[in-house]
Amino acid sequence: MSSMTNKDSNGHVRGTSLFVDDINVREGTLHALVFDSPSAHGKIIKVDYSKAAELAGVEQIFTYKDIPGENQIGGIIPDEVLFAENEVHFMGQPIALIVAKSLAIAKKAKELIKIEIEELPVVTKAREAFDKGLLISPPRKFELNDVAKGFEESDYVFEGTTFTNGQEHLYLETQGSYAFPLENGNIKVVSSTQGPTSVQMTIAKVLGLAMHRIEIEVNRLGGAFGGKEDQATPWAVMAALAAYQLQKPVKLILERNDDMRMTGKRHPYESTFKIGLNKDLKIIAFEVDYYQNSGAAADLSPAITERTLFHATNSYFVKNAKLTVYSCKTNLPPNTAFRGFGGPQGMYVIEAAIVKAAAELQVPVSKIQEVNLLQDNDVFPYGQLVQNAATKKVWQEVKSQFNWKEKQKEITDFNKENTQYKKGLSLMPITFGISFTNTPMNHARALVHIYQDGSVGISTGAVEMGQSVNTKMLQVAADTFGLNPDSIKIETTNTTRIANMSPTAASTGADLNGKALQKACNTLKTRLVNYIIAANNLKDSDSITFKDDEVYVNDRSIDLGWKQLISDAFLQRISLSEHAHYTTPEIHFDKSIEKGHPFAYHVYGTALTVVTVDCIRGTYEFDSVEIVHDFGKSMNQGIDVGQVEGALVQGIGWMTMEEISYDSKGRLASNSLSGYKVPDIFSVPKKVTVKALDTEGEAMAILKSKAVGEPPLMYGIGAYFAIQNAIKAFNPDYQLKFDAPMTPEKVLMGLYERK
């Protein structure tokens, strides 16, 4: 079972998998294009749509005035309009929707719209916004013990600043939706969203309709990475608005450059830190102010803030901590969820602080890391006790299995012998909490039908986005029923079958939906077992098992196949359908004191990265990244290792080459793939080894197989520090910098800087 391949792989390779833009459109389908703000901050004096509206083939241009319900799409805080009214707050902010017979006509019409804007001051940097008192929401603060006292007790105290830039999601499939009217004024929307229920709720609000009149359907997404947790919504709402008002089908798919320009990204963070250590290199105190660049509206920022705080101490025990996040309001598109959800930004800062302390004290970074690794019964700054911590184990295993000691010596020797090339190494431990940090979101449902011919259809709230959650769901059902996966079908994710979904996010998709599915399958199984016992005069103590499409009693075949069983049960009028609900047990969190037990469990791992820097060109290549990762008991090695590899490379991209750049007017300069470099096959480490930690697994994880989506992204942070070590080996004058990404330009400057 654990070698089952991704069930989408055939369709993906042959091009038969359906995405939103592949759906056969209905007759009379109209095409929509967004008219967006050319200014990052200003008062709208006048918009003249008359020429555009007169163009042949233009059906209608929708503005905020055409909204029957509320012009409001903010999920956590109601601070974001669907269409700008009198002011614009970022370049690319939607102002109107042009709906026409073809996209070409809509594009022509867009050029005919005239807009007059009175420019207002533009703020693009977090600290600048903070200094002007521009905040999205009140600051959030986590405190453990007494940080002031901690600094007094420290033998050494160091301070510094850090910056991590944003990151473009670059899902292969851009944002898109297709909406069509149903009878009685109801609406159906096919959306490329991680959060079908958020889309449904927001359409209901904007159209002024009850939720049950709106059906959201998701087949699969061509990647998301958090970019479609909240920001798939506006495009679906716009298509629904037009379809509802015109009573015609409307398709809205963003072209790549519009998508890059109009949507938010990973939050850039500026931070100031202060770290205190004692003579034994134990971290006694850690204080950080994080300035999160939230963009022009809250979006998911308040939740992302929270995860920064939860992961601020990464894999280390810190006795006294004071951590504060300021969500700063700037004139950029609202920044949003991105794999790791603020966690990576938090973890980078403590790693930087440790690197800084090590340099000042002239001790190895790994020594400070090692003596501070978490162990059981330590406490996280948010009050949760450390349990079943594999932190030290993964660390030790990386060191021993991948010959850390020998590698260090080889690198020292190499650096002595070579002038043009220098190598650097780093160790990057990770500890990532699994559960939505917002406890009420940790729930899911599943619906299972066994049809009378024995075939099975399952629906869950999980959205397939390339992470293979559908394959995992198939495995759960096949495992419980002892059936060949070929007789099980995964249905689309649809709000009429599964209501009130949390988004597929926070690495929880397989756990939450899998547990609900397992529950539904088990209830059906119990029902069938009871029927078998009654029909065959068996005893309750007899053990009935389902295996290889057959029924076994006390491990012996009774010549009863699954198909026959289902057909018999159906004739006995036994229900062959089940709907189940799962909520994560044990978790809780009290925001009034910022303490609790928010995570079902943690995922652990450590990465050993080796890089070679070309000291003439400033370019670099990763020789190897070797990882010991805690999968629990992986239910599918192929899928899980694939997630680690993909996340690692995405993390390296964020730390090294992906450089988002806005000019002082708030215009995205890196607005295309020629100006924004993402990792390609040549930038992937020459060798990536992923070893699974040997463990008993975790009961709260589905089939004991731990969540894997986000945690490995943070292995990429090691890339930054490995490169910096190589620079130091070349240039003794080099001053440490914590300013990611470490682009080849910055490397070159670092190689040749002088004191």
Q: Torsions phi, psi of 27, nearest 5?
A: -60, 140
For residue 229, the minimal CB distance to ligand LUZ (Å) is 6
For residue 70, the minimal CB distance to ligand MOS (Å) is 25
Task: Classify the C-alpha dihedral 135-138-141-146 as positive or negative.
Answer: positive
The binder of 194, among ligand MOS, ligand LUZ, none, by C-beta within 5 to 8 A per type, is ligand MOS
Asked whether the beta carbons of 495 and 215 are under 8 A apart, the reply is yes
Q: Choose the stretch contacting ligand MOS; rule: CB under 6 A; options: 104-112, 231-239, 337-345, 421-429.
A: 337-345
237: closest CA among 188, 202, 193? 202
Q: How far apart are CA 83 and CA 107, in angstroms?
A: 18
Side chain identity at residue 475, one-letter code: Q
Query: Maximum distance among all alpha carbons in the chain?
Result: 89
Q: Establish if 337 lies at the interface with ligand LUZ (CB under 6 A).
A: yes
Q: Establish if 650 lies at the interface with ligand LUZ (CB under 6 A).
A: no
202: closest CA among 301, 75, 65? 75
Instruction: Provide the angle, in degrees to the nearest 10, between the axes of the packed helices 744-752 and 717-730.
Output: 30
Q: Which of residues 356-385 bind ligand MOS (CB under 6 A)?
A: none
Q: Establish if 168 lies at the interface with ligand MOS (CB under 6 A).
A: no
Instruction: Provide the angle, in degrees to the nearest 10, between the axes of the packed helices 562-571 and 509-535.
Output: 70
Residue 154 or 504: the one with the smaller Cβ distance to ligand MOS is: 504
Q: Which structure tokens are listed for 275? A: 């770290």
The binder of 6, among ligand LUZ, ligand MOS, none, by C-beta within 5 to 8 A per type, is none
Residue 303 or 644: the one with the smaller Cβ distance to ligand LUZ is: 303
Residue 458 or 505: the one with the smaller Cβ distance to ligand MOS is: 505
Q: Establish if 339 lies at the interface with ligand MOS (CB under 6 A).
A: yes
For residue 526, the minimal CB distance to ligand MOS (Å) is 33
The binder of 437, among ligand LUZ, ligand MOS, none, by C-beta within 5 to 8 A per type, is ligand LUZ
Question: Among residues 67, 109, 298, 303, which is the contact residue for ligand LUZ, using CB under 6 A?
Answer: 303
For residue 230, the minimal CB distance to ligand MOS (Å) is 8
Q: Which helix (H) or strand (E) is 417 found in, with range? A: helix 404-417
Q: Establish if 727 lies at the interface with ligand LUZ (CB under 6 A).
A: no
The binder of 307, among ligand LUZ, ligand MOS, none, by C-beta within 5 to 8 A per type, is ligand LUZ
For residue 306, the minimal CB distance to ligand LUZ (Å) is 7
650: closest CA among 193, 160, 171? 171
Q: How far apart are CA 669 and CA 244, in angstroms?
A: 36
Residue 710 bears catalytic tag: yes
For residue 665, the minimal CB distance to ligand MOS (Å) is 29
In sequence order, what are the beta bridge partners of 58? 100
Question: Among residues 285, 506, 544, 729, which is the contact residue for ligand LUZ, using CB under 6 A?
Answer: 506
Asked whether the beta carbons of 311 and 432 are under 8 A apart, the reply is yes
| Catalytic residue, candidates 217, 710, 745, 753 | 710
Question: Among residues 239, 506, 512, 657, which is the contact residue for ligand MOS, using CB under 6 A?
Answer: 506
Q: Establish if 341 lies at the interface with ligand MOS (CB under 6 A).
A: yes
For residue 658, the minimal CB distance to ligand LUZ (Å) is 19
Asked whether the beta carbons of 275 and 67 are under 8 A apart, the reply is no
Residue 292 or 369: the one with the smaller Cβ distance to ligand MOS is: 292
Q: Establish if 599 lies at the interface with ligand LUZ (CB under 6 A).
A: no
Give the count of beta carbons closer than 10 Å to the beta carbon of residue 755.
7
For residue 694, the minimal CB distance to ligand MOS (Å) is 27
Q: Torsions phi, psi of 164, nearest 5?
A: -125, 135
Residue 483 or 714: the one with the smaller Cβ distance to ligand MOS is: 714
The binder of 683, among ligand LUZ, ligand MOS, none, by C-beta within 5 to 8 A per type, is none
For residue 453, the minimal CB distance to ligand LUZ (Å) is 40
Q: Which structure tokens are listed for 439? A: 């406890």
Q: How far apart are CA 301 and CA 335, in angstroms?
A: 7
Q: Which structure tokens are listed for 166? A: 């944003």
Task: Classify the C-alpha dihedral 191-196-200-202 as positive or negative.
Answer: negative
Q: Establish if 600 lies at the interface with ligand LUZ (CB under 6 A).
A: no
Side chain identity at residue 698, one-letter code: E
Q: How many residues contact ligand LUZ, by CB under 6 A?
A: 11
120: closest CA among 748, 653, 666? 666
Q: Which of residues 432-471 bind ligand LUZ (CB under 6 A)?
A: 436-438
Asked whether the beta carbons of 473 and 441 are under 8 A apart, the reply is no
Cα 583 from chain centroid (whole Å): 21
Q: Establish if 478 lies at the interface with ligand LUZ (CB under 6 A).
A: no
The binder of 308, among ligand MOS, ligand LUZ, none, by C-beta within 5 to 8 A per type, is none
Beta strands in 488-576 (DSSP E): 488-490, 493-494, 544-547, 550-553, 556-561
For residue 506, the minimal CB distance to ligand MOS (Å) is 5
Residues in CB range of 541: below 8 A, 6 or more apart: none
Q: Which of residues 185-244 bind ligand MOS (CB under 6 A)?
A: 194, 226, 229
Q: Choose the stretch contacting ligand MOS; rule: CB under 6 A; options: 331-339, 343-351, 445-453, 642-650.
A: 331-339
Residue 150 or 598: the one with the smaller Cβ distance to ligand MOS is: 598
Q: Choose the stretch contacting ligand MOS; rule: CB under 6 A; options: 13-21, 165-173, 338-346, 603-611.
A: 338-346
Beta strands in 435-567 (DSSP E): 443-450, 456-460, 488-490, 493-494, 544-547, 550-553, 556-561
Classify 328 as helix, strand or coil: strand
Q: Which residues are known catalytic residues?
A: 710
Contact set with ligand LUZ (CB under 6 A): 226, 229, 303, 307, 337, 341, 436-438, 505-506
Footprint of ligand MOS on this chain (CB under 6 A)?
Answer: 194, 226, 229, 337-339, 341, 505-506, 710
